[in-house]
Amino acid sequence: MSEILVLVEHADGDVKKVTLELLTLARSLGTPAAVWAGPGYSEAVKARLAEYGAEKIYVAAADEIGDYVVAPKAEVLAQLVAERSPAAVFVAATGEGKEIAGRLAVKTDSGVISDAVGVGEGFVAEQSIFGGGVNVHSRVTRGTPIITVRPNSTTPVAAAAAGAEEKVEVALSDAARAARIVERVVQEKGARPELTEAAIVVSGGRGVGSGENFSIIEKLADALGAAVGASRAATDAGWYPHQFQVGQTGKTVSPQLYIAAGISGAIQHRAGMQTSKTIVVINKDAEAPLFEIADFGVVGDLFQVVPQLTEEIDKRR
Amino acid sequence: MNIVVCVKQVPDTATERKLRSDDKTLDRDAADGVVNELDEYAVEEALRLKEAHGGEVTVLSMGPAKATETIRKALAMGADKAVHLHDDALHGSDALGTSHAISQALKKIGFDLVILGSESTDARTGMLAAMLAERLGAPQLTLASKVEVEGTAIRVERITDYGYDKVEASLPAVVSVVEKINEPRYPSFKGIMSAKKKPVETLGVADADIAADQVGLANAWSEVVDFATAPPRAAGTVIKDEGDGGAKAAEFLTSKKFI
């Protein structure tokens, strides 16, 4: 079967979960070949990628790939597309992943599909658009299919493969060196999983009432090993940092479980979470639109319900 | 400084959005058109940079005739003039075709800085700014929550999953912004009145040296195979808290094996 390139998402030298999902997905359609771009490659990385089915691992580990915004990674992929003629390229549908895919599409004169929630035979991609209101199947008709896939679209399943390494030397163009990263500022790292990758997300909205009160949301999240999200009302009010905003102008999440407390559920919010597998809603307003898409809803005061839920979870563990 | 701010007219998120059954493109007549929200932040940032450094702000919008409403809104906020990229041949262009058309128009207009919202609320590809940077050979300063210009140097804070990156480049450059960057102004009455008199130039495919075989639905690099309204989620259980709402929720989570 022909090769499918999977760009590895990594942070601090660790492979992110979404990459394991993409390798699992690629395995159903061809032979997965992982592409590592940037510094930090290690034996542990190799073992992880092989464990999840990477037959081959292309390693472009030059430090300078990580020194500039997006463009170097697109050049690494473009070189591999030219040399290896893969059947397709899969990239995680993160902010940066989509930008890499976009540049790669221009470089290779190839079609690109954004934010797929599934990919089937013939690389027909499934997308959920208009805030989850319409399901679309689409496919690339020119060049190499480049598909960005939403995190949490596939359950990662291990299946050992060779993980044969191949070094890739890339001579970066001047254009790829145009936007230099001079400092990386790490905020709010903490022990919680990353919002877009988390299997469970607990979000708070206007009903939470203040920044201090978000500790109630955080305690529930920590009891479940979940990430914390916030509605736009909460981030606009300054109660929670902007990077945790779920919704149309923030992050799109698709976790196994999404718990919304004090969020009425305007379409702007639903656009960012509607493809969550299970949705639990806690709101004192029985008319809150989010109840319409809830698998389980509690009409009640979140300051009573959320701490009780947290306590019950701790008891059952 | 010559700033071009790209704005897009999108269907209002609050109304029902549809694809057309004939050619499977966005039905732009079914819903009210509004300025893509993140583009308002781009206009605001362009105006602030002009106020700080001097120069001119040109609005560039690609879209059908009614996109002039969106152009007038940006002019009412304070932009100086506008270019409307409008040609039936552009209908149905995908992200690649759109980026080709807009990059050609940008070359024709000339720019020190291009600013746009980081994504549109309709297509939501989040790719256009990166594609423009690629096509123009200009630095990509995207997902910016802060922009500073000093002479020909430009510095931005680019939001990331872990916080942000400080990024530096030289003009000319392509910037996309996130909503954290500023608070867009409302057009004043005076702004709205003067917007009616500001120049709006219309460019077609030939005027902007756009390659006819790179744009339009027939030349798109991808196609919609089929689409359907998402089935409604199965009705869930909604209970009223009688003092045991949290415990009931825990029971539900246990039944779903989350606990």
Residue A182 lies in a domain: no
Q: Is A273 on the interface with B (CB under 8 A)?
A: no
Same domain, A307 and A256: yes
Residue A194 lies in a domain: no
Same domain, A253 and A285: yes
- Model confidence over B109-143: pLDDT tens digits? 999 999 999 999 888 889 999 999 999 999 999 99
Residues at the binding site of A for FAD are 206, 231-232, 245-249, 262-269, 283
Same domain, A220 and A311: yes
Query: What's the CATH code, domain B2-219?
Result: 3.40.50.620
Q: How many CB atoms lie within 10 A of CB A264?
A: 19
Calculate ∠ Cα B88-B90-B95, nearest 5°: 160
Q: At residue A277, what is the residue type?
A: K
Min Cα distance A130 → chain B (Å) is 7
Under 8 Å between Cβ of B95 and B123:
yes
* Domain at A100, CATH number: 3.40.50.620
pLDDT of res. B31: 81
Residue A187 lies in a domain: no
Residues of A in contact with B38 (CB under 8 A): 249
Residues of B in contact with A243 (CB under 8 A): 159, 161, 163
Instruction: Compute the distance between CA of residue A163 and CA of residue A63 in angstroms, rounded to an integer.
Output: 22
Residues at the binding site of A are 206, 231-232, 245-249, 262-269, 283
CA separation, residue B259 to residues A169, A191, A229, A278, A306 (Å): 47, 19, 20, 14, 15
Q: At residue B235, what is the residue type?
A: A
First to last CA, chain A: 45
Residue A183 lies in a domain: no
- Residue B241 tokens read as 């808290």
Residue A184 lies in a domain: no
In this prediction, residues A243-270 reach a mean pLDDT of 93
Same domain, A33 and A172: yes
Q: How many CB atoms lie within 10 A of CB A147?
A: 28
In this prediction, residues A39-56 reach a mean pLDDT of 97
Q: Is A237 on the interface with B (CB under 8 A)?
A: no
The arrangement of strands across the sheet holding B81-85 comes to: A180-186, B163-170, B153-159, B140-150, B173-177, B113-117, B2-6, B56-62, B81-85, B200-203
- Chain B residue with the nearest C-alpha to that of A185: B164
**Which candidate in A257, A312, A316 is best for mutational testing of the B interface (most B CBs within 10 A)?**
A312
Instruction: Compute the distance between CA of residue B117 and CA of residue B119 in angstroms, rounded to an integer.
Output: 5
Same domain, A134 and A258: no
Same domain, A25 and A152: yes
pLDDT of res. A188: 65
Residue A54 lies in a domain: yes
pLDDT of res. A133: 82
- CB-nearest to B241 from A70, A94, A301 is A301
CA separation, residue B24 to residues A136, B16, B193, B226, B227 (Å): 10, 16, 38, 8, 8
Same domain, A132 and A38: yes
pLDDT of res. B258: 94
Q: Is A71 on the interface with B (CB under 8 A)?
A: yes
Same domain, A65 and A155: yes
Residues of A in contact with B241 (CB under 8 A): 298-301, 304-305
Domains held by chain A: number: 2
Between chains, do B236 and A297 touch, taking CB under 8 Å as contact? yes
CA separation, residue A74 to residues A60, A182, A185 (Å): 12, 20, 23
Give the position of tokens 């120069």: B55
User: Residue A268 phi/psi, 5° resolution?
Assistant: -60, -35
Min Cα distance B149 → chain A (Å) is 14
The boundaries of the domain holding residue A161 are 3-177
Mean pLDDT (chain B, rounded): 95
| B57: β partners | B3
Under 8 Å between Cβ of A296 and B249:
yes
- CB-nearest to A70 from B130, B237, B244 is B130
* Domain at A260, CATH number: 3.40.50.1220
Confidence of residue A189 (pLDDT cuts 50, 70, 90): low
- Chain B residue with the nearest C-alpha to that of A297: B238
Same domain, A166 and A27: yes
- Model confidence over B224-254: pLDDT tens digits? 999 999 888 888 999 999 999 999 999 999 9
- In this model, does residue B161 exceed pLDDT 70? yes
Domain layout of chain B by residue ranges: 2-219
Same domain, A163 and A255: no
Instruction: Compute the distance between CA of residue A247 and CA of residue A302 in angstroms, rounded to an integer.
Output: 21
pTM of the predicted model over 0.90:
yes
- Model confidence over A8-42: pLDDT tens digits? 999 888 999 999 999 999 999 999 999 999 999 99
Q: Which residues of A223-250 are buried (b: 16+ CB within 10 A; e: fewer)?
A: bbebbbbbbbbbbebebbebbbbbbbbb
Give the position of tokens 């246990």: B254
pLDDT of res. A1: 58
Same domain, A109 and A247: no
Helix, strand, or coil (residue A60): strand
